[in-house]
Chain A
């Protein structure tokens, strides 16, 4: 007695730990007390009454100890599994799980308070505006808005095009209405021959007659219309 009565258990434990690739010293969360407690059970075997009293207490501890063992072994096994998985990637395994991110001081202490403040604060109009903006910024709305813009600009372009008449749009003047041409603010690329085509002969004769009546008053009795210069005529046309 007095020896570590659970020597077989210790051996079993060592074997189990070895199978996990660990030695007893690798268990960070276990300390000597747990082994001592296991020893004391065996030591009390000679003192039945005493054992009876302490056994209950020990059993309670034993249950929690068992859970503690189970959880520790589970955590260790988890670590080993993950470590083994990463071993095949040499660079990754060398960088294994170092702490690199930090938080401001007292961040976690104040977090609960900050969350409670947010819960107690009613949503303000800024958040509503954010919500509206988020509606607009989703994909469907974005495409619809773009399409609308395209349609608006196309419409403006088409409307502006109606006031401009281009000769190149058709092969002859016959495809364009005369009044459209005459009303157009800009007549582009018409040759003189094509302009002559537009002239109304009857209208020209009437205008000439009107002119000649005016001019005969200005012209002397001996002058005839033959003496009127072609330049003068062309100008009047």
Chain B
């Protein structure tokens, strides 16, 4: 019952975080389920050195990054990088209802390196404080701020040039 409540409480936040990384709904669903299953299996090992939410977020982030790594390996012989394919899939995705400008923004975000993309999403969309992001990503606040600003600058340049 407690696990059910845990899922109910964090499912949306974690889902949207994962979705912004992997874009596709089905993949996000898979990763989210894997995240909660991992949480279930490792709940006893949770040492409470960090907050529960921070721990959950960290697992979700790592699962998403692992998924992207696997997808890259499977995509080894393709001429197009995985980010290009994700951007292409957005155009026909029924669960994406942004206009052309929003589509362009998502394509711009997908040009970023993975970790930079995660930092950007967490700050821009989730409005997460840097201190909390620091706990989740295990990176210093200064590095996160720099990463975010570099990401925002790259996206701005992409939007201007396209």
Measured CB to CB, the residues of A under 8 A from B are 78-79, 82, 85-86, 89-92, 95, 97-98, 100-104, 107-108, 111-112, 114-116, 118-119, 134, 137-139
Contact = CB atoms under 8 A, between A and B. Distances in A.
A92 B73 contact: no
B25 interface: yes
Nearest to A89: B156
9 contacts: A89-B153, A89-B156, A92-B159, A101-B95, A108-B15, A112-B8, A112-B11, A115-B37, A138-B73
Interface residues on B, range: 35 or more
Contacts of B40: 119
A102 B95 CA distance: 5
B4 A112 contact: yes
A232 B84 CA distance: 81
A95 B125 contact: no
Interface string B50-66: 00000000000000000
Nearest to A116: B4
B153 A97 contact: no
Interface in B110-161: 123-125, 127, 129, 148-149, 152-153, 155-156, 159-160
A112 B7 contact: yes
A104 B95 contact: yes
Select the residue from A89, A101, A102, A118 with max chain B CB neighbours within 10 A.
A101
Given A103-B25, A104-B95, A111-B7, A91 B12 contact: no
A100 B123 contact: no
Interface in B29-50: 29, 32-33, 36-37, 40
Contacts of A89: 152-153, 155-156
Contacts of B19: 101
B25 to A, nearest CB: 6
6 interchain residue pairs of minimum CB distance: A100-B98, A91-B159, A89-B156, A112-B7, A82-B127, A102-B95
Contact of A111 (B11, B73, B96, B156): B11
Given A78-B127, A86-B124, A100-B97, A134 B70 contact: yes
Given A89-B155, A103-B25, A112-B7, A137 B73 contact: yes
B117 to A, nearest CB: 14
B148 to A, nearest CB: 7
A95 B152 contact: no
Given A92-B155, A97-B125, A114-B33, 14 more contacts: A78-B129, A85-B123, A86-B152, A91-B156, A91-B160, A103-B15, A103-B95, A108-B15, A111-B29, A115-B33, A115-B36, A115-B37, A116-B4, A119-B37
Contacts of B105: 92, 95
A154 B116 CA distance: 45
Contacts of A100: 96-98, 102, 106
A215 to B, nearest CB: 73
Given A101-B19, A102-B97, A85 B148 contact: yes
A83 to B, nearest CB: 9
